[in-house]
Structures are given as structure tokens and as C-alpha cells.
Structure 1
Amino acid sequence: MRTPIVALDFPSQKEVEQFLAHFGEETLFVKVGMELFYREGTSIINYLKEQGHRIFLDLKLHDIPNTVKSAMRNLAILGVDMVNVHAAGGTNMMKAALEGLQEGTPEGKERPICIAVTQLTSTSEEVMQRELWIEKSLEETVLHYAKLAQDSGLDGVVCSTLEVPKIREACGEDFVTVTPGIRMADDNVDDQVRIATPARARELGSTYIVVGRSITKAGQPLEAYKKVTQQWEGTTV
């Protein structure tokens, strides 16, 4: 069964609990980002684990290799299922992240999936070149970062669904692609640039999709979740 990752982009645990109440006993794969983690700390992770949910801890680490290694060692102890770094931190940093995760993972437990952010889905080619001074094309940059992540031993990358086919060609079918910027056809684009529907993400070969406002801002979150899941599984259009 394909399960979308639900982005818990809420300011506090109280709002998370209110949102999850819509799902009853159903267990989810959820994403905890900076806003929520910096407010609640490890208590939100413990709460979600107690409820049986899988967790993508989305902190996008980017620092010197030793600092990232130490941070990842601590994150591994939390027992989350997925973590990430910025590929722009370079090969040594990504290798250090993996080493920290391996050292911190409790004996008998599986190491969290470790992925690297290529370019944020809110980043356009114009912004990348004009503001970040990256002269290569967006596609070339994403592919280069994906290869760097793979060569560093990471499990995959965060990327746009539109870039998945090229990454599959360059890095193989087993390389994980986590794709945010997912919207239903009638949703607002908001601050995303490189977006796709769940059905399109399935067609393009994404391993995981991350869905936020299409579910969290819906009047009936459970029904919205089911619709996203059906598209993602290919059981409806």
C-alpha cells in the first residue's frame, strides 16, 4: 500500500492532536518540520511514536561535517524513520551525517532513511541563477546533487516530481525520491513552484509524496487523505 507522508505544518502539539483526531485509530506517515520541532522538541516525536505513526523528521541539516554527524547521532536515538540534510553541504558533510546515524541507531533497530534536499520546490530557475548564483540549469543542478548524495552513501533525495525520471536514469530504481509540492488539481499552488498531483507523481515514479495543505487545510481531512491516497495508489483519477 502506498502511503502519502502528511506534513504536520502546525505551530504546536495541540493543533497536531486536534488534526489527528480526525483519523481515529488509523496510523499515518507524518512529517515533522522545523516549526513544530523547534516549538515542541522531542516531546512531539515521543507523542507521535506512542500513537504508532511513522515519522519523517524534516530539519534539513546543513553545517560543518562534525556538527552534522553529532546532530544525526542524537536524532537517530529518537527512533524516527527518515531524516534529511542539504546536499549543498557537500560530500564530506553527507558522509558524516550517515556515520552519525549509524552510530546513534540503537542496536537491533533499523537506521533511519537518510535523504538529501537537492533544490527546494519553492525555488525557480530564475531565483537559483539570479539570487543563488548557480549558473547551471535547475535540472543539471538537481541531478548533480542527487549523484553526490548517492556517492556519499545516502538513500535518496528530496526533489520535485518533475525531476524524478531523470534521477531514476542517473541513480537507478532503488534510489529513494521524496517529492513535496503535491497538490490536488483544484488546489491553490501557494508558495510552491514545481508541483504535481498525486496521480502525476505516481506516473513519474516518486517513491514517497509529501502532502500538506491539501489535507491539513481541508474541511474533512480524513476524506481528503483518502482521495490523495487513492490517486497515489492509482485506484481512482
Structure 2
Amino acid sequence: MTAILDPRDRLIVALDVPDVASAGAMIERLGDSVTFYKIGYQLGYAGGLPLVRKLADAGKKVFADLKMHDIGNTVAKGVESVAKLGATFLTVHAYPQTMQAAANASKGSDLRILAVTVLTSYDNEDLKAAGYQLGVSDLVTTRAQQAQALGIDGLVCSPEEAGNLRKLIKPEMVLVTPGVRPAGADIGDQKRVMTPAKAIAAGSDYLVVGRPILAADDPKAAAEAIVAEIAAAT
């Protein structure tokens, strides 16, 4: 990452909620403590995609975590649609044809394409069961190198891989890391996790946090505590 970011802009809150009303209520509670939101499958399929435009018009940034993967033409048309919504980031799976189609389709827009290397809920045994010969580390490295060669703007990876990837990729490529949990928080279904401070120190540019904020008694205070931890680590 070449630009210096405000610590508040480095926290991406995952709006993993069941409907638009719940998302609106959470956004209201978080107020100015959060500048960046993620909309994924759960909210997107519940009518949440128009919220991308609404948030963008309100001065917020949005990460459309749609993990596209299809034939090139289908991916390209999907990317063009998301770009029109005003999203800042969009994810695609890190397969070469998919990445190439997305990179080409995003040219001329402000949308930045992120390639998902290996999901943070996967470990080596999960990859083996899915038919992969490479382990997590080797597969992440291979996909990162392919993404850089194809002009992808950044990578989604676990905090555990951030340090090695930062050494492999160009400074302008961003690293966005889910699987971030404050000390003592429940890790849920994640398998490769790290605290916010350690993730920043490892080389992550943006941290995606959902449940530790959404499920907190005071979500705004939880978000502000993570931002403070990010600030202290930079």
C-alpha cells in the first residue's frame, strides 16, 4: 500500500445481517465510527445491493464481497454492474481467467478488484479434501503471483499470509484480511485468525471484522476499540 490511510478507514465492518432493515439499524448505531462496510452474500441476496449506492452517496466506502467466478463474459458483465453501484472493492476468486476478465472490465472505473486467494475457513486438510495438491501457503503464493501479473488491485488473504505476501507483491497492491478477532473473541468458523494489531504489523492494509462488532453490546465502542488498536499498531 503506497498511500497512508486514516486508521478509521482501515476497518471494514462486515454487514453480515439478514435484511436491509437490520443493516440500516447497525449503520445508525455505528455512526461516524465506521467509514467502510462490507456487503456479502447474506445481505446482498436479501435485497442489500442497492445499499451499496446509498452508502456511497452518503460518503461511505463499500466492499462488495461477491466472490465472482464464472466464464469470462459473465464475470465481466457482473463487474460492470457493480462498478455502476459505486463500490470501492469487489472480490473475485483467484482463478486466472476470472481475474483477467474482472481486471479488464474494471478499467476506466473507480472499482478495485480483489482476488480471494484461499478462504480463511480452509486449512491444508480442507484443500486436500477438495482435490488440491498444494497446501494453503503454496496455493496462496501461486495465486498472488498470478493476480499481480494480471493487474489485480489487491488480495484477500488471512493475516497469517499477509507478511509473506507483502514481500512478494508490489507496494500498491492492497491486502485485505478477514479472520481478524480481538483478543479473547470467539473465532467462530475461522481457522486462520489474528488480532487487529498483529494483522496490521504483519502487513495487512484493511481488516474485515463482523461478529466481534455486530454481536457486541455496544457495537460503536467495539469498532472504536479496534480502530484504536489499528492506530497504535501503525
Q: Distance in 1 between matches of 2:79 and 2:233?
A: 38
Unpaired runs of at least 5, structure 2: 1-5
Match of 2:23 in 1: 16
Contact 1:157 1:178 in 2 (8 A): yes
Q: Once superposed, what is the RMSD of the aligned Cα atoms?
A: 1.6
Residues 1:49 and 2:41 are matched in the alignment: no
The answer to whether 1:193 aligns with 2:191 is: yes
Q: Deviation per CA, 1:204-230, whole angstroms, max 9, x where unpaired?
A: 010111011111110001110011111
SS, match of residue 177 in structure 1: strand
Question: Is the CA contact (8 Å cut-off) linking 1:27 and 1:51 kept in structure 2?
Answer: no
Secondary structure of the residue aligned to 1:59 is: strand
- Partner SS for 2:183: coil
Q: Distance in 1 between matches of 2:135 and 2:49?
A: 39
Paired letter, 2:92: V
TM-score, normalised by the number of residues in structure 1: 0.91
Other-structure match for 1:108: none
What is the aligned partner in structure 2 of residue 79 from structure 1?
Answer: 86
* Count of residues in correspondence between the two structures: 227
Shift, 1:13, TM fit: 1.0
1:172 offset after TM fit, Å? 3.1
**Displacement of 1:95 after TM fit?**
1.3
Residue 25 of structure 1, CA deviation? 4.4
2:46 match: 39
The equivalent of 2:69 in structure 1 is 62
2:169 equivalent in structure 1: 171
Normalising by the residue count of structure 2, what TM-score does the alignment of the two structures yield? 0.92
Q: Is the 8 A contact 1:202 1:234 kept in 2?
A: no
Unaligned runs of 5+ in 1: 106-110
Choose the corresponding residue for 2:150, options 137, 152, 169: 152
Q: Is the 8 A contact 1:59 1:83 kept in 2?
A: yes
Query: Which portions of structure 1, spanning 4 or more consecutive aligned residues, are displaced by more than 6 angstroms?
Result: none
Cα distance between partner residues in 2 of 1:91 and 1:151: 10
Q: Secondary structure at the match of 1:209?
A: strand
Are the counterparts in 1 of residues 33 and 220 from structure 2 also a CA contact under 8 Å? no
Query: Which stretch of structure 1 is more off in the superposition, 115-124 or 172-181?
Result: 172-181
Q: Which residue of 1 aligns with 2:97?
A: 92
For residues 121-142 of structure 1, what are the alpha-carbon distances to aligned partners after superposition, in whole Å with 9 as ceiling and x for unaligned? Answer: 000111111x111111210100
State the match for 1:102 in structure 2: 107
Change (3 A) 1:144 1:77: same
SS at match of 1:136: coil
Q: Identity of counterpart residues, as a percentage?
A: 35
Choose from 201, 219, 222 the match for 2:220.
222
Cα deviation for residue 48 of structure 1 reads: 1.8
Contact 1:27 1:52 in 2 (8 A): no
Shift of 1:41: 4.5
